[in-house]
Amino acid sequence: MCGIIGITSTRPVAAKLAQGVRRLEYRGYDSVGVATLADNGIELRKGVGKVDQVDAELDFASAPGITGIAHCRWGTHGGITQANAHPHVAPGGRIAIVHNGIIENFLELKEQLLAEGAQFLSETDTEVVVHLIERALKVADSLEEAVHVATAQIVGSYALGVVCLDEPDKLIATRNESPLVVGFGEDEHLIASDVAALLEHTKTVVYLDNREVAVLTPGSCSIFDPHGEKIDKPRHEIDWDVEAAEKAGYEHYMLKEIFEQPAKITDTIRPRLRDHEVVFEPDTGITADILRGVDRVVFLACGTSWHAAMVGEFLFEELAKVPAEVEYASEFRYRNTPIPPGTLLVAISQSGETADTNAALEEAVRRGNRTLAICNVRGSSMTRIAAHTIHTHAGPEIGVASTKAFTTQLAALYLLTIGMAQAKGSLSQQQIDTMIMGLREIPQKMERVLDQAGEIQNIAKQMTSRSNAIYLGRGAHFPIALEGALKLKEISYIHAEGYPAAEMKHGPIALIDKQMPVIVIAPQDKLTYQKTLGNIEEVKAREGTVIAIATEGDEVIPRLADFTIFVPETLYSLGPLMSVLPLQLLSYHVAELRGCDVDKPRNLSKVVTVE
Ligand code: AGP
């Protein structure tokens, strides 16, 4: 939702704060601000716009002080205004805070404060918090005690960074539901919403858990549990370097992340694949006995991760012979779906911070169901809610449109399916060996698809002036049709819908005319290939433009379609890892040709931590 960073140091911090908030901009970018503790008071600089734009006006780096906080916002309460930008300063001018999350009881708290005569400068929920801290500090013995008293009154989610002129070398950090990481620098301590903002200063971090409080000075770090007891937290060494979060020479993060997919698939499958079996790391707690005991799977996810779950449903039913269903997390959490014992709840999320998915998962845990997360961010909230986690190794995904996270989620689902089939004996050893071999070949087959980026860019030119598009797929590729449509609409703003190909005749075919591009996923599979050819002919008969995704060597499709993109032949079940790539590249090039902000599309943020 928003990004926060804070530093307490022996050296000036403003430039580092500005750079750090740049690395967090994908979390929200409608306004940005920096606050440092200067000798003559709090130096507050904030404005509306992206970091570079506001920094050019306010010169963040010149702010004095060796303690400070910064924030980039994706507004939830209050318009996009300078007053609503963070940091927020208490009326007495001595305390400043930054916040990521939503204070659900903020209206009630604000009414209480207004009744006591408080003056508010903004419409935000966050400003209520700085008033509560200032009020608590009048009787508390320390800033951390005041923060503890204030947050005890809060209902909702928060990651907070707090500084105060009364204790100018101290930085207080605490969280509930929203992510917050503590970094151990050289004669300095840092906090951030995401490790990407810390990597150039440290790779040693600690992930705070809910309602824990970190009290930081340049030379000390004390962490307290929700009851105020001092605790030791495990330190993690991050193996992502700053370059991994850079664009590596590509025009956009999204394009870099599309081309990283072969390597990230390798990183995700290699540690778990043996010649004849799949083995999960001991710290996942996933054993053959646990998988053998699963007799039903329910997936919980949102957005692109929901599309991955749709492929997972196909895999579990087709290969592991386990009934599966996919639930929108935002719907599941408000229903009383009967979940019989023996059901495995599988939550899928790139960020591990999607509020609806985490809330649905927490509900499943509360009901006593066995839970498993497929997640890309170590230490994220979801990984601490689920009983088991399979980490995807996609590395930081900065582009708002998810690409490598999606395909590594599919890779994790293939691993889980093979593991389940092994445990249950639903596939022969030969079939398992074939699957494992097929999976090992995927990265180099992906490279062959990505090598066609130039041709795909040419095809994209046919779509830049269109207002609509239809995506068709069958079986395991129906979720890929949905994913392709989402990619196009979320970054190029062209309206697009995905359908099972056979659904065309039940309504959508009325939309076909010469202005309607139809992207058809048509692998040469035995079951439905001929039927899909029929769908292509139906579209052509109505003057629609057909862009087909076909299997290398297919000589029929190019004669029917206006444009054909070939993907290498694979096992049918592995086909989604091939067919999604052209659709990712197609959406990227259409958006780029339309001059859209590919990495930061309008109205979207990378992590949706609001419900
Ligand atoms: C996908 O391109 C979008 N960015 C969005 O649908 C995303 O997949 C969704 O918000 C879920 O995010 P998560 O995987 O981090 O839970």
Which of 253, 305, 377, 598 maximizes ligand 1 atoms within 8 Å of its Cβ, making it the mutation to test the pocket?
305
Residue 522 near residue 549 (C-beta atoms within 8 A) = yes
Whose CA is closest to atom 7 on ligand 1? 303
The reply to whether 219 and 172 lie within a common domain is: yes
Whose CA is closest to atom 9 on ligand 1? 303
Whose CA is closest to atom 10 on ligand 1? 303
Confidence of residue 240 (pLDDT cuts 50, 70, 90): confident
How much distance in Å is there from the Cα of 356 to the middle of ligand 1?
11
The reply to whether 289 and 308 lie within a common domain is: yes
Q: How many CA atoms lie within 13 A of 254 on its CB side?
A: 27
Whose CA is closest to atom 16 on ligand 1? 349
Rounded CA gap, 580 and 355, in Å? 26
The reply to whether 499 and 552 lie within a common domain is: yes
How much distance in Å is there from the Cα of 594 to the middle of ligand 1?
23
Q: Residue 204: beta bridge partners?
A: 237
How much distance in Å is there from the Cα of 354 to the middle of ligand 1?
8
Report the atom number in ligand 1 closest to the C-alpha of 403.
Answer: 2
Q: CB-based contacts of 179: which residues, under 8 Å, 6+ apart?
A: 100, 159, 193, 194, 207, 352, 353, 377, 379, 380, 381
DSSP string covering 254-305: HHHHHHTHHHHHHHHHTTTB-SS-B---GGGT--HHHHHT--EEEEEE-HHH
Confidence of residue 75 (pLDDT cuts 50, 70, 90): low
The reply to whether 172 and 253 lie within a common domain is: no
Each residue's pLDDT tens digit, 5-28: 999 999 999 999 999 999 988 777
Give the C-alpha distances (Å, rounded to integers) separating 553 from 195, 410, 556, 562.
45, 25, 9, 17
Report the atom number in ligand 1 closest to the C-alpha of 301.
Answer: 16
Residues 600, 601, 607, 610: what is their CA dihedral angle, to the nearest 10 degrees? 130
Each residue's pLDDT tens digit, 572-606: 999 999 999 999 999 999 999 999 999 999 988 88
**What mean pLDDT comes out for the span 557-575?**
97
The reply to whether 593 and 513 lie within a common domain is: yes
Residue 66 resides in a domain: yes
Domain at 483, CATH number: 3.40.50.10490
Report the atom number in ligand 1 closest to the C-alpha of 304.
Answer: 8
Active site residue 2: yes
Whose CA is closest to atom 3 on ligand 1? 401
Rounded CA gap, 405 and 385, in Å? 20
Q: Residue 44: beta bridge partners?
A: 35
Phi then psi dihedrals of residue 500, to 5 deg: -65, 135
The reply to whether 142 and 155 lie within a common domain is: yes
Instruction: Report the sign of the C-alpha dihedral through residues 85, 91, 92, 98, in that order.
Output: negative
Residue 161 near residue 98 (C-beta atoms within 8 A) = yes
Whose CA is closest to atom 6 on ligand 1? 303
Residues 236, 237, 242, 245: what is their CA dihedral angle, to the nearest 10 degrees? -50
Rounded CA gap, 38 and 45, in Å? 12
How much distance in Å is there from the Cα of 436 to the middle of ligand 1?
28
Taking CA 389 as the corner, what is the angle to CA 383 and CA 390, rounded to the nearest 5 degrees?
130
Q: Which of 41-45, 156-160, 243-247, 262-266 has the highest mean pLDDT?
A: 41-45
What residues are in contact with ligand 1 under a 6 Å CB criterion?
302-305, 349-351, 354, 357, 400-402, 490, 607-608
The reply to whether 343 and 206 lie within a common domain is: no
pLDDT at position 401 is 97
Give the C-alpha distances (Å, rounded to integers) separating 535 from 73, 472, 554.
46, 9, 17
Residue 605 resides in a domain: no
pLDDT at position 406 is 98
Q: Which of 2, 72, 164, 221 is catalytic?
A: 2
The first and second tokens of residue 46, run together, are: 């904030």
The domain in which residue 554 lies consists of 452-600
How much distance in Å is there from the Cα of 306 to the middle of ligand 1?
8
Q: Which of 16, 256, 600, 606 is catalytic?
A: 606
Phi-psi region for residue 610, left (φ > 0), alpha (ψ -120 to 50) or beta? beta
Residue 609 resides in a domain: no
pLDDT at position 28 is 73
How much distance in Å is there from the Cα of 399 to the middle of ligand 1?
11
Mean pLDDT of the chain: 94
Would the pLDDT of 272 be above 70?
yes
Report the atom number in ligand 1 closest to the C-alpha of 401.
Answer: 2
Which of 354, 389, 491 maximizes ligand 1 atoms within 8 Å of its Cβ, making it the mutation to test the pocket?
354
Query: Which of the pair, 26 or 424, is modelled with greater confidence?
Result: 424
pLDDT at position 245 is 58
The first and second tokens of residue 41, run together, are: 């008071």
Boundary residue ending a domain (207, 238, 269):
238
Residue 348 near residue 309 (C-beta atoms within 8 A) = yes
Q: How many structural domains comprise the chain?
A: 3
**What mean pLDDT comes out for the span 344-366?**
95
Would the pLDDT of 374 be above 80?
yes
Q: Is 543 exposed, middle or buried (0-12, 13-18, 19+ CB in 10 A)?
A: exposed
Residue 259 resides in a domain: yes
pLDDT at position 171 is 98
How much distance in Å is there from the Cα of 305 to the middle of ligand 1?
6
Q: What percent of the chain has pLDDT over 70?
A: 98
How much distance in Å is there from the Cα of 405 to the middle of ligand 1?
9
Q: Terminal CA-to-CA distance of the chain, rounded, Å?
A: 11
How much distance in Å is there from the Cα of 392 to the middle of ligand 1?
15
Report the atom number in ligand 1 closest to the C-alpha of 490.
Answer: 2
Confidence of residue 249 (pLDDT cuts 50, 70, 90): low
**What mean pLDDT comes out for the span 496-507?**
95
Give the C-alpha distances (Å, rounded to integers) separating 533 from 434, 520, 557.
28, 9, 7
Rounded CA gap, 396 and 240, in Å? 8
Rounded CA gap, 164 and 156, in Å? 24
Would the pLDDT of 378 be above 80?
no
Chain position carrying tokens 């009934």? 323
Whose CA is closest to atom 4 on ligand 1? 401
Q: CB-based contacts of 237: which residues, under 8 Å, 6+ apart?
A: 203, 204
**What mean pLDDT comes out for the span 537-546?**
96
The reply to whether 115 and 226 lie within a common domain is: yes
Would the pLDDT of 308 be above 60?
yes
Active site residue 230: no
The reply to whether 212 and 261 lie within a common domain is: no
Residue 523 near residue 508 (C-beta atoms within 8 A) = no
The reply to whether 319 and 343 lie within a common domain is: yes
Nearest Cα neighbor of 525 from 466, 564, 493, 570 is 570
Boundary residue ending a domain (383, 413, 443):
443
Q: CB-based contacts of 540: which residues, under 8 Å, 6+ apart?
A: 546, 560
Label residues 510-526 b or e (16+ Cβ within 10 Å = b): eebeeebbbbbbbbbbe
Would the pLDDT of 450 be above 90?
yes
Report the atom number in ligand 1 closest to the C-alpha of 405.
Answer: 14
The first and second tokens of residue 397, run together, are: 């995904």
3-state secondary structure at position 220: strand
Q: Where are the beta strands (DSSP E) in 459-574?
A: 468-473, 495-500, 517-522, 545-551, 563-567
3-state secondary structure at position 569: coil
Each residue's pLDDT tens digit, 102-155: 887 888 999 999 999 999 999 899 999 999 999 999 999 999 999 999 999 998
pLDDT at position 172 is 98
Domain at 118, CATH number: 3.60.20.10
Rounded CA gap, 581 and 445, in Å? 11
Q: Is 156 exposed, middle or buried (0-12, 13-18, 19+ CB in 10 A)?
A: middle
3-state secondary structure at position 533: helix
The reply to whether 465 and 398 lie within a common domain is: no
Label residues 480-489 b or e (16+ Cβ within 10 Å = b): bbbbbbbbbb
pLDDT at position 160 is 98
How much distance in Å is there from the Cα of 124 to the middle of ligand 1?
25
Confidence of residue 157 (pLDDT cuts 50, 70, 90): confident
Which of 1, 254, 304, 307 maximizes ligand 1 atoms within 8 Å of its Cβ, making it the mutation to test the pocket?
304
The reply to whether 383 and 302 lie within a common domain is: yes
Chain position carrying tokens 């985490």? 358
Would the pLDDT of 431 be above 70?
yes
**What mean pLDDT comes out for the span 442-455?**
97
Question: In this structure, are strands 181-185 and 171-176 parallel, antiparallel, or unpaired?
Answer: unpaired
DSSP letter at 599 equals S
Report the atom number in ligand 1 closest to the C-alpha of 606.
Answer: 4
Boundary residue ending a domain (423, 443, 463):
443
Report the atom number in ligand 1 closest to the C-alpha of 486.
Answer: 2
pLDDT at position 246 is 60
pLDDT at position 76 is 60
Q: Can you give the pTM of this predicted structure?
A: 0.74
Residue 607 resides in a domain: no
